[in-house]
Amino acid sequence: MKTENIDGSNAIVVHDLSKNYGKDIGIKNVSFEVKTGEIFGFIGPNGAGKSTAIRTILGLLQANGGSAEILGLDALTQGDQLRQQIGYLPSEVHYYNEMNSRELLEYSAGFYENVNLSLIDELADYYDLDLKKKIADLSFGNKKKCAIIQSVLHEPSVLILDEPTSGLDPLMQNRFFDMLEKENKKGVTIFFSSHILSEIQRMCSRAAVIRNGEIVAVENIQTLLEKQMKKVRVVFARETNYNLPAGAQHEKSNGNKLSFEYVGKVNTLLSWLASHELHDAVLEEPDLESIFMNYYER
């Protein structure tokens, strides 16, 4: 994990980017920078504005203010040149139902310069995709595989991924992550948007956190993890007196059962658990909303 090949320059610079839908705010003053060769996470709950930010950067939505620069080009005005070097994987895949996968991929390749068409078969084998099947007959997961292939077929310098693993089974998710690591080793910058924290943890060294259309933090993943609240549920072997570890809050107890929320170093928590005789212990990853509440409470 985290095999990034980062150089000092910025591949993506977004500054005060805003998009409104009439009176409703889509995103507001979104700013972040992604270094060349970095795998950068973009995390937030559903409806936080992740897709709106991506779609505005890609020119699908008209920005109401701010700027976005990718590989030194203005993404809002030079998008057509820029997209020659960008691979985009959307969260929801909608293709031409009358085509089969091969036709779709060849059609997509036709927009780019010097595409190696043999990659279509190579990648289809890797992802177990039947290229003869009509798009209309493909499952959501298979459409996603087709989308993955089209996003890398022209060997882009920057990959923009929006909820890339939705619809993929665990085996395909692992193949996908392996492919991303290989692409990143070749120097590809990856912008990885997801609402699944564990994916961001696995792939990224830094992430921007977005909530209600605004960036609430741009953090190293390590810092994000330390701020991450865990839900702890334990069953003591017998009713016992205990002192909660530092960082525990919202304690609830019932006989020999205890639950609380914990923010802090995981080793401290494990030491505390080890010092008690327990029948059971469960550590749960909190939902994203709880993590964001942590940011606001601090």
Q: Which is nearer to another protein, 107 or 242 (CB)?
A: 107
Query: Nearest approach, Cβ of 5 to another protein (angstroms)?
Result: 25
Say if CB 211 and CB 291 are below 8 A apart: no
In the complex with another protein, the residue whose CB is nearer, 75 or 232, is: 75
Binder among 90, 167, 245, 286 for another protein (CB under 8 A):
90
Given candidates 95, 260, 272, 292, which one binds another protein under the rule CB under 8 A? Answer: 95
Q: Decide whether 94 or 238 has the Cβ nearer to another protein.
A: 94
Q: x/- site string to another protein, residues 5 to 44, per CB under 8 A?
A: ----------------------------------------
Closest distance to another protein from the beta carbon of 93 (Å): 8
Residues 6+ apart with CB under 8 A from 175: 126, 127
9-17, 93-101, 236-244, 261-269 -> range binding another protein (CB under 8 A): 93-101
Task: State the nearest-atom distance from the C-beta of 79 to another protein, in Å.
Answer: 8
> Applying CB under 8 A, does 111 fall inside the site for another protein?
yes
Distance CA 87, CA 11 (A): 14
Which 3-state string (H, E, C) describes the chain? CCCCCCCCCEEEEEEEEEEEECCEEEEEEEEEEEECCCEEEEECCCCCCHHHHHHHHCCCCCCCEEEEEECCEECCCCHHHHHHHEEEECCCCCCCCCCEHHHHHHHHHCCCCCCCCHHHHHHHHHCCCCCCCEHHHCCHHHHHHHHHHHHHCCCCCEEEEECCCCCCCHHHHHHHHHHHHHHHHCCCEEEEEECCHHHHHHHCCEEEEEECCEEEEEEEHHHHHHCCEEEEEEEECCCCCCCCCCCEEEEEEECCEEEEEEECCHHHHHHHHHCCCEEEEEEECCCHHHHHHHHHHC
- Exactly one of 55, 134, 231, 233 binds another protein (CB under 8 A); that residue is 55
- State the minimum distance, in angstroms, from the CB of residue 246 to another protein: 45
**Of positions 5, 84, 205, 290, contacts another protein by CB under 8 A:** 84
Q: Which of 67, 73, 79, 214 binds another protein (CB under 8 A)?
A: 79
Task: Determine if 112 is a binding residue for another protein (CB under 8 A).
Answer: yes
Task: Indicate the residue among 109 and 217 with the shorter CB distance to another protein.
Answer: 109
Q: Is 246 in the site for another protein (CB under 8 A)?
A: no
Write down the least CB distance from residue 110 to another protein, Å.
4
Binding residue for another protein, selected from 107, 237, 240, 251, defined by CB under 8 A: 107
184, 215 contact by CB (below 8 A): no
Q: Is 137 in the site for another protein (CB under 8 A)?
A: no
Residues that bind another protein (CB under 8 A): 51, 55, 58-62, 79-84, 86, 88, 90-92, 94-98, 107-108, 110-112
